[in-house]
A and B are shown apart, each in its own frame.
Chain A
């Protein structure tokens, strides 16, 4: 198996931080707010590997730090501590020691991100096709016809009617906006894709279509993905391995079927037992 990403001891603290932050927060204290300085320990000591074509699930309740982990990897947030190594086809990148230009370069050329809120991932002032074109232009596709063809190809791949390529995303339903966002993220065939609560709040039938699409992409392009969700069903369907987070810590990590059928941590047991 080819390793794509190696994350070690990743931590993120919002606030001034103090000596007590890490030792007085976490699941055993039931909080991620430091009692001494009031800083929020959003994530602490997160380590994992991700291989080519693998989908890793990160599951946990709101505020457990699952999105924070992904946001630092996509450079939306600066980590407080830790390292992340991205293994590209012929070289390695130490993600947190790159300069801003290098970070932008990876974001634009090698990573894809799909946010829960489409307004974070899409520009609502330009058309659906324009959104995709923006990403293609960054990748040196300059010919108008080529860009338009590729945009249409991606939209039909994600089942957005091509007739609507020139409409602004604001005119679309939530599910369609999400598909345009996926099309945009996929435009450059990224080897690494981050999906943050992509189906949360969508109709069940739309959820199913988007989840199927994600699986097809995984099989077709062997894209490595990190799927952040609080939905056990999404984890069960997509992820081969799963991390369970609570109060900023990983409380359990394992093969998804093991985490669901033989959960070890009290919190995971409660989570699995609460599933509908």
Chain B
């Protein structure tokens, strides 16, 4: 029996823009489950609010309605929509990983330090963390000559490998992936798929956005389709 790690009920998110006096709906009526060792694929057209769901789980956005019920490693169930900030920070450090579309990292840090950072925060000693980081960078085929360099000057694909390595290395309980293979060549994408499968086998619950139907077929265990909260025509009409 597989354990449900995250259950989202009636989630919606809209942005209130004070200067324009507007309420902009982004996601609505989202219901889904993410299960240990399985990948839930979020699909839907641009503007359906897929990234919004991931960001709201991670508290980068504040959910407007609904419940985001997360079950921790110690089997406590908490609503991520209501948990206090320190609780969320603790979960980010220890349980929930997020690989966004673009690498965001401290400037002037070497790639291997960036990848090792989440392990060090978890209490792993520095040399073991660096070792694990190097291994993961190798798995994702980032050339060794780049490990000591800051990713500032890297190509999009190289940056994304650092980003993925950082997300994979600490084997989170719940991993959120926003188009993880979008900027990668086919060979590297294959390596990423291998890593995702490894994490699944080790019990990580994954919620991912993919655009390629082929990838969804290969990796997805559950597929959830989102629709834009408001039809685009309605939005235009509202403006007038």
- Residues of chain A having any CB pair with chain B under 8 Å: 1, 49, 51, 54, 208, 212, 215, 219, 237, 240-241, 253-255, 257-258, 261-262, 264-266, 269-270, 273
The 8 A CB mask of B44-83 against A (1 = contact, 0 = none) is 0000000000010001111000000000000000000000
The interface residues of chain A lying within 8 Å CB-to-CB of B15 are 262
The interface residues of chain B lying within 8 Å CB-to-CB of A254 are 62, 85
The interface residues of chain A lying within 8 Å CB-to-CB of B18 are 265-266, 269-270
The interface residues of chain A lying within 8 Å CB-to-CB of B236 are none
A273 to B19 CA separation, bound complex (whole angstroms): 10
Report the nearest A residue to B92, measured CB to CB: A255
Flag if A269 contacts B85 (CB, 8 Å). no
A72 to B202 CA separation, bound complex (whole angstroms): 51
The interface residues of chain B lying within 8 Å CB-to-CB of A266 are 18-19
- Residues of chain B having any CB pair with chain A under 8 Å: 15-19, 55, 59-62, 85-86, 88-90, 106-108, 120
Flag if B55 contacts A255 (CB, 8 Å). no
A14 to B86 CA separation, bound complex (whole angstroms): 33
Contact flag A1-B90 (CB < 8 Å), given A262-B62, A266-B18: yes
Flag if B55 contacts A261 (CB, 8 Å). yes
A262 to B85 CA separation, bound complex (whole angstroms): 15
Flag if B106 contacts A237 (CB, 8 Å). yes
Flag if B61 contacts A51 (CB, 8 Å). no
Report the nearest B residue to A266, measured CB to CB: B18
Q: CB within 8 A of B59: which of A255, A264, A273?
A: A255
Report the nearest B residue to A264, measured CB to CB: B62
Q: CB within 8 A of B85: which of A215, A241, A264?
A: A241
Flag if B86 contacts A51 (CB, 8 Å). yes
Flag if A255 contacts B89 (CB, 8 Å). yes
Flag if A269 contacts B19 (CB, 8 Å). yes
The interface residues of chain B lying within 8 Å CB-to-CB of A269 are 17-19
The interface residues of chain A lying within 8 Å CB-to-CB of B61 are 258, 261-262
Flag if B85 contacts A255 (CB, 8 Å). yes
A261 to B59 CA separation, bound complex (whole angstroms): 10
Flag if B90 contacts A258 (CB, 8 Å). no
Contact flag A212-B90 (CB < 8 Å), given A261-B61, A262-B15, A262-B61: no
Report the nearest A residue to B17, measured CB to CB: A269
Q: Give the Cβ gap from A149 to chain B, nearest Cβ, in Å.
A: 26
A127 to B89 CA separation, bound complex (whole angstroms): 42
Q: Give the Cβ gap from B133 to chain A, nearest Cβ, in Å.
A: 16
Report the nearest B residue to A50, measured CB to CB: B86
The interface residues of chain B lying within 8 Å CB-to-CB of A264 are 16, 62
Contact flag A258-B60 (CB < 8 Å), given A208-B108, A215-B106: yes
Flag if A262 contacts B89 (CB, 8 Å). no
Nearest 9 pairs of A and B residues by beta carbon: A266-B18, A262-B61, A257-B60, A261-B60, A255-B85, A241-B85, A269-B18, A258-B60, A255-B59
Q: Give the Cβ gap from A241 to chain B, nearest Cβ, in Å.
A: 6
A212 to B85 CA separation, bound complex (whole angstroms): 25
A257 to B120 CA separation, bound complex (whole angstroms): 21
Flag if A262 contacts B106 (CB, 8 Å). no
Flag if B86 contacts A212 (CB, 8 Å). no
The interface residues of chain A lying within 8 Å CB-to-CB of B89 are 1, 54, 240-241, 255
Q: Give the Cβ gap from B87 to chain A, nearest Cβ, in Å.
A: 9
19 additional A-B residue pairs with CB within 8 Å, beyond A1-B90, A262-B61: A1-B86, A54-B89, A212-B108, A215-B106, A219-B120, A237-B107, A241-B89, A253-B85, A255-B60, A255-B89, A257-B59, A257-B60, A258-B59, A258-B60, A261-B61, A262-B15, A262-B55, A269-B17, A269-B19
Flag if B19 contacts A49 (CB, 8 Å). no
The interface residues of chain A lying within 8 Å CB-to-CB of B108 are 208, 212
A265 to B86 CA separation, bound complex (whole angstroms): 21
Q: Give the Cβ gap from A10 to chain B, nearest Cβ, in Å.
A: 19
Can you offer 27 A-B residue contacts whose CB atoms are under 8 A?
Answer: A1-B86, A1-B90, A49-B86, A54-B89, A208-B107, A212-B108, A241-B85, A241-B89, A253-B85, A254-B85, A255-B60, A255-B85, A255-B89, A257-B59, A258-B59, A258-B60, A258-B61, A258-B62, A261-B55, A262-B15, A262-B60, A264-B16, A265-B18, A266-B18, A266-B19, A269-B17, A269-B19
